[in-house]
Amino acid sequence: MKKTILSIMALVTWTAPAVAQTPVYLDDSQPIEARVQDALRRMTLKEKVRLSYAQSKFSSPGVPRLGIPELYWNDGPHGVRMEINWNDWNHAGWTNDSITAFPALTALAATWNPDMSAIYGKSISEEALYREKDVMLGPGVNIYRTPLNGRNFEYMGEDPYLASVMVVPYIQEMQKNGVAACVKHYALNNQETWRNHIDVHVSERALYEIYLPAFKAAIVEAGSWTIMGAYNKIAGTHACHNDRMLNQILKKDWNFDGVVVSDWGGTHDTKEAALNGLEVEMGSYTDGLSSDNSNGYDSYYLGNAYLKMIEEGKVPESVVNDKAARILRLIFRTSMNRKKPFGSICTEEHYAAAEAIGNEGIVLLKNAPVAKKSPALLPLKNDYQNILVVGDNATRKLNEGGGSSELKVKDMVSPLDGLRAIYGDRVKYAQGYAAGQPMYGNVNEIPQEVQDKLRAEAVAMAKDADVVILVGGLNKNHLQDCEGGDRQSYGLPFGQEKLIEELQAVNKNLVLVLLSGNAVEMPWIDKVPAIVQGWYLGSMGGKSIANVLSGKVNPSGKLPFSFPVKLTDNGAHSFDSLCYPGDGVKQVYKEDIQVGYRWHDTKKIPAAFAFGHGLSYTTFEYGKAVASAKKMTADDQLEISVKVKNTGAVAGKEVVQLYIGDDKSSVVRPLKELKHFQKIALNPGEEQTVTFIVSADDLKYYDEASKDWKAEAGKFKAYIGSSSADIRTVVPFVLE
């Protein structure tokens, strides 16, 4: 409402030009570009400059004299963040800013279903409209390089192709409603340790093959209207004003016509910000009390110092106008878009969307029988009379904490709530371990005697239970899955490993539900018959978990990243500390292109659970894949088909994955790389033919010498399977 009032007031006080003319910038029937140029002609230099820096923590100004409204930005890869005070980071304390928390982006990626991504983007944009937000700061597509990264839960996994496919529908559906997506964090922001200054050095091949494709898809295919610069440096220059990343790659090579916004406080130099492609500077520290305060908004790098550079002739007029035009274009697409719909919040449709995404994102990692000739432990038997749920995460609100992705929900179904809704008073609860409260930048230390008491209580109750469901994992505390700090170790925290050992010793019917955005070490893996990766699932997470555990929903999620057996099995942790986390100044990505399953495959280091892995309550049989030809040229397309049949007793969904490997190359390449996938639904006994179209683009690598993509003639293989480690059929072919 405040935006509308300000805009109306500005219109009332606006003085028309001496020569009467149609105010094109207000006429929605005119093309946006005509409106942008018309507005530019009417603006003063100071008005153009003022567009480029914040007026509060989460807003940037328009042009009040011309009736052009401000922009309201919002943290929100997984939902619309609660209101933050105008000039500080405290919660505003509103009572009408509770929203739907959607599953974290790791869970969305684990659906391997672009339709779920489209539903996600549409739903979150409707809640943003209701809250009068113009730009949502997400989705995030930084690559999962190390399982210690505190913000991995906000991203879409380790594979650039999977992330590229999943990010596009999210952005497209969001922006159909006149809400701008802001894909982030561009680029190479793959850790939180020293994130504000670490200087990342990476090969050209790794940059183009691993770390840029999802950003490119967000811009070129989805048409994202904004993009956020990362905190870190890239080859010596901060990402928020890096000429090569912003001017050359983003704007020249990808034809980006939108706005580059700094991460909050990510700007460090006026000259670089002015000339190297940054449009809007946000979040540098201020108390906002007065315009002449040393920390005031006008003191931002793109504030008075930028204006002075222009007046001294150090910034070309074309640069000034380009920045202003891009911001105006964004305003016309969003806050001045009078055709956008009304929003809605916490609706049945949004809760259903959150539940559906959770249902498809949950990954069944392991499901073994407890004894020989007995069935697998999951789904839970209907005749269980004493179901013990253990774990802090069974009741914790995992939407709280985590940094900027924190959310304030109207409704939250916990895993304990979800199970009790199905099994009633047959469900008992024991906390089992304590994790403390989420504290940004601080760590809660729980006294050992408290942990010992909670563990003893849970173990005592487990002795008499028919089945024990331990809901554990990580949480959103600092140094867990949280912005501003990486995890300190690969194992489970808060004494959970000892809890697992003692629970298993008294009850073999143990189900472990991991709620996390990261892989964890599993030294106890052989002792736990059933393991479920449950992610952070938001408002309806408890319903989704109960749906899968009970068998109401057949799990179909697949891992978007590998689970190494031990930390040093991960590529980033296989070298010295300069590779991770760096020496405090510089970091070198020594694993190069061999990220995730590429490293495991090529180095022949098996993962505990492979990329693309995920079990079902049914079984799928793959036939022998066939190709439309044995040879292809660079101008051809090859059809590769495989029959997949549901050979089990229940309906289910399978993700059929196609990887391509180059048998012999002049450069080092991974054993295989994901190039296509399809998620199909099959009833018992039903068979479907899945067809993939392979082109020369699927065979290429980035050639550093020619600075272009190249496919070498020779022998290739198409690997088709249920995960990167579960290949069912292979088709050889030749590129001539």
Place of tokens 């029937």: 29
CA-CA distance, 663 to 715, in Å (whole number)? 6
Task: Please state the separation of Cα 450 from the chain's center in Å.
Answer: 35
CA-CA distance, 599 to 563, in Å (whole number)? 12
Instruction: Give which of 584, 586, 611 is closest to 597, Cα–Cα.
Output: 611
Strand partners, 676: 658
On whether the CB atoms of residues 340 and 268 are closer than 8 A, the answer is: no
300 Cβ neighbours under 8 A, 6+ residues apart:
53, 54, 267, 281, 284
CA-CA distance, 630 to 219, in Å (whole number)? 35
On whether the CB atoms of residues 349 and 123 are closer than 8 A, the answer is: yes
- Give me the sign of the Cα torsion angle 185, 438, 87, 178: positive
DSSP letters spanning 56-94: BTTEE--BGGGTB--EEEEE-SSSPPPPB-SSSSSB---
Instruction: Give which of 498, 475, 495, 500 is closest to 487, Cα–Cα.
Output: 475
501 Cβ neighbours under 8 A, 6+ residues apart:
524, 527
CA-CA distance, 723 to 570, in Å (whole number)? 18
HSE toward the beta carbon, residue 720, CA cutoff 13 A: 28
On whether the CB atoms of residues 356 and 541 are closer than 8 A, the answer is: no
HSE toward the beta carbon, residue 253, CA cutoff 13 A: 16
Choose the catalytic residue: 159, 263, 486, 601.
263
Place of tokens 């304590």: 434
Place of tokens 């986390």: 581
269 is catalytic: no
3-state secondary structure 357-370: HHHHHCEEEEECEC
For residue 313, what are its two tokens?
Answer: 């002739």
Question: Treating both helix axes as pointing N-terminal to C-terminal, what angle do 32-42 and 317-333 enclose, rounded to 10 degrees?
Answer: 130
Residue 463 corresponds to which amino acid?
K
26 Cβ neighbours under 8 A, 6+ residues apart:
35, 67, 336
The number of beta carbons lying within 10 Å of the beta carbon of residue 22 is: 10
413 Cβ neighbours under 8 A, 6+ residues apart:
421, 539, 540, 541, 542, 543
Inter-CA distances, 107 with 160, 166, 544, 658, Å: 16, 11, 12, 21
- Catalytic machinery residues: 263
